[in-house]
Amino acid sequence: MLYLRFKIQNYNMATENRGNFSSKIGVILATVGTAVGLGNVWRFPYVVGDNGGGAFLLVYVGALLLLGIPGVIAEFIIGRHSHANAVDSFKKIAPGTKWHWIGYSGVLAGFLIMGYYAVVVGWTLEYLVQACLGNLSGLTTEQYGEMFNQFAAHPFLPLIWTLIAMLVSTFVVARGVSGGIEKASNVLMPTFFIIILIMVGHSFFLPAAKEGMLYLFTPNFSELKPVAILIAIGQTFFSLSLGMGCLITYSSYFKKDVKLPKTAAQVVSIDAMVAVLSAMIIFPAVFSFGMQPEQGPSLVFKVLPNVFQQMPVGTLWGILFYALLFIAAITSLISLHEVVTAYLHENSSLNRRKSAYLVTFLVMVLAVFASLSFGELSHITLFGKTIFDLLDFFTASILLPVGGFFISIFVGWYLDKRIIAAELRIKHPKAHLIIKGYIFMLRVIVPTCIFAVFLYSILG
Ligand code: TRP
């Protein structure tokens, strides 16, 4: 015990002055910043489109309540209790065990996700600039498709944008937690909400507003395939930034007065709301101009330019939309960057700024391969997947579920219940029952569901 105390003290010395989010609103905006990203604006609408609309939405809400909220709270408990990065948090709570391998897997996942996520953030920048220059007009749908394919396949143009995105992220991360991440989120996230509300408002006035909303909200269970349940769970994980210690890292900067269950509920509901609002922007627009939503990942780059150009003042809507996408994406990129940077900085002699730049350099090396896999390196495939697809598959379908599984087991089975109770601080006459129920979810429900998704994505 004495040895343990000593160890903990040592860690505290090593990690003191690591910074905090200075205000409660900063906590919410930064955490919403990591969660709300390409997953909401780019991925969610086409996943809904591919899986039959409204019925899928119900399954998704179920996954959020059953897995999302417990998962977010589990990472919060680890992070806030240990006040350490994704790896050291486990070393602190479970010294002398192998649990910190969850953290290593998380840091690796963060690095690999950045390798392709930054490329897509780069695409959003290109489209934002093209929209501002008024170049997203006058083409047919096929020509927009061709335009995207040519751009993505270009040997260095996308990489310049990737580098710019990474440098923006580096700039923010290098400035630290309250001076960088919190400040950026405090400006970017309110801007994001203003833009998304303007766009949703506009959506209601489009010719096919009703058709689009009906498609999104009418549950048509005959179209719901069993696979959709697993897809909904995968979407929940990616969208909430779960399974790789991103929320452990962020919550390690929460002060003691932050209420974890309340914060988790707020972040999860805002994240879900943004996903639905994005779909409310995209479906009416797509239906109004004679397109179909089931276009897969390229929906927002190949289909939407043609939709915007047919709207009155379409250039403006194009600019707003790609700005929205960029803000969502950059705050998530920052969070991925922070996970790897915090680990590196706190485990080496490099200061925060140098650590952030080193991470950027390494990510750029990976991004070169990810980006070129749309062009020069498109012939390099494994299991029929390009390098880009492999990075996405290996992280989203393997590392995140495995990480989420073990995090849930760790908090449910290993962590002292008193720590859980102390971190949750539930003030309710039946608090012990609520905590019991929560632990049961982490012990049984969450791991079982994740295991099902995992088997599916490996075997399917
Ligand atoms: N949640 C973000 C999105 O929806 C992406 C993201 C950021 C993420 N950090 C993460 C995904 C950590 C998984 C793990 O786009």
Task: Name which residue leads in pLDDT, 259 or 1.
Answer: 259
Give phi and psi for 382, each to the nearest 5.
-135, 130
pLDDT of residue 7: 47
Task: State the pLDDT confidence band at 6, using cuts at 50, 70 and 90.
Answer: very low
Q: How far is the CA of 143 from the centre of ligand 1 (A)?
A: 31
Q: Say what the pLDDT of residue 460 is.
A: 64
Distance 316 CA to ligand 1 centre (A): 28
Query: Does the C-beta of 332 come closer than 6 Å to ligand 1?
Result: yes
| CB 275, CB 61: distance < 8 Å | no
Given a cut of 90, is residue 185 above it in pLDDT?
yes
Is the confidence at residue 12, as pLDDT, over 70?
Answer: no
User: Is there an atom of ligand 1 within 6 Å of 105 CB?
Assistant: no
- When pLDDT is averaged across residues 123-145 and rounded to a whole number, the result is 93
Statement: residue 3 has pLDDT above 60: no
Residue 331 CB less than 6 A away from ligand 1: no
What are the beta bridge partners of residue 385? 382
Per-residue three-class SS string for the chain? CHHHHHHHHHHHHHHCCCCCCCCHHHHHHHHHHHHCCHHHHHHHHHHHHHCCCHHHHHHHHHHHHHHHHHHHHHHHHHHHHHCCCCCHHHHHHCCCCCCCHHHHHHHHHHHHHHHHHHHHHHHHHHHHHHHHCCCCCCCCHHHHHHHHHHHHHCCCHHHHHHHHHHHHHHHHHHCCHHHHHHHHHHHHHHHHHHHHHHHHHHHCCCCCHHHHHHHHHCCCHHHCCCHHHHHHHHHHHHHCCCCCCHHHHHHCCCCCCCCHHHHHHHHHHHHHHHHHHHHHHHHHHHHHCCCCCCCHHHHHHHHHHHHHHCCCCHHHHHHHHHHHHHHHHHHHHHHHHHHHHHHHHHCCCCCHHHHHHHHHHHHHHHHHHHHHCCCCCCCCCECCECHHHHHHHHHHHHHHHHHHHHHHHHHHHHCCHHHHHHHHCCCCCCHHHHHHHHHHHHHHHHHHHHHHHHHHHHHC
Which of 36, 43, 238 for mutating ligand 1's site (highest number of atoms within 8 Å of CB)? 238
Q: 236-254 pLDDT, tens per residue? A: 999 999 999 999 999 999 9
User: CB of 34 closer than 6 A to ligand 1?
Assistant: yes
Structural domains of the chain, with CATH: 20-459 (1.20.1740)
What mean pLDDT value characterizes the chain?
Answer: 92
pLDDT reading at 162 higher than 50: yes
Name the residue at shortest CA distance from atom 6 of ligand 1: 241
Cα–Cα distance list, 380 to 120, 146, 387, 391 (Å): 20, 22, 7, 13
Q: Cα separations (Å) of 366 from 236, 372, 390, 430?
A: 26, 10, 12, 50
Closest CA to 355 of 170, 179, 213, 194: 170
d(CA 50, CA 45): 9
Query: Does any ligand 1 atom lie closer than 6 A to the CB of residue 37?
Result: yes
Q: Which residue has the higher pLDDT, 13 or 206?
A: 206
Determine the average pLDDT of the residues in 284-302: 80
Q: Compute the average pLDDT of residues 141-159.
A: 93
Cβ of 246 below 6 Å from ligand 1 = yes
389-398 burial string, b = 16+ CB within 10 Å, else e? bbbbebbbbe
pLDDT tens, 82-105? 999 999 999 999 999 999 999 999
Q: How far is the CA of 39 from the centre of ligand 1 (A)?
A: 7
- At 332, is the pLDDT very low, low, confident or very high (cuts 50, 70, 90)? very high
124 Cβ below 6 A of ligand 1: no
Nearest CA to ligand 1 atom 12: 241
Average of pLDDT values for 190-207? 95
Residue 224 near residue 55, CB atoms below 8 Å: yes
pLDDT at 1: 45
Return the ligand 1 atom nearest residue 37 CA: 15
**pLDDT score for 299:** 80
> Could you tell me which residue, 4 or 159, shows the higher pLDDT?
159
Residues 391-409: what's their mean pLDDT?
Answer: 91
Q: What is the pLDDT of residue 50?
A: 81
Please state, in angstroms and rounded to a whole number, the distance separating the CA atoms of residues 37 and 327: 8
Tell me the average pLDDT across 420-441.
Answer: 95
Asked which of 406-415, 417-426, 445-454 is least confident by mean pLDDT, the reply is: 445-454
Query: Would you state the pLDDT for residue 16?
Result: 52
pLDDT(142) > 90:
no
State both tokens at 329: 């994406």
What's the rounded Cα separation, in Å, for the pair 127 and 315?
12
Output the six-digit token pair for 274.
């943004």
pLDDT at 452: 83
pLDDT tier for residue 297 given thresholds of 50, 70 and 90: low
In this predicted structure, which of 128-142, 256-270, 292-306 has the lowest mean pLDDT? Answer: 292-306
Position 183 scores a pLDDT of 97
Distance of alpha carbon 112 from the chain centroid: 13
Question: What residues pair up with 382 in beta bridges, in sequence order?
Answer: 385
Q: Is the CB of 278 under 6 A from ligand 1?
A: no
Return the percentage of the chain with pLDDT > 70, whole number: 95
pLDDT band at 2 (very low <50, low <70, confident <90, very high): very low
Q: What is the pLDDT of residue 201?
A: 95
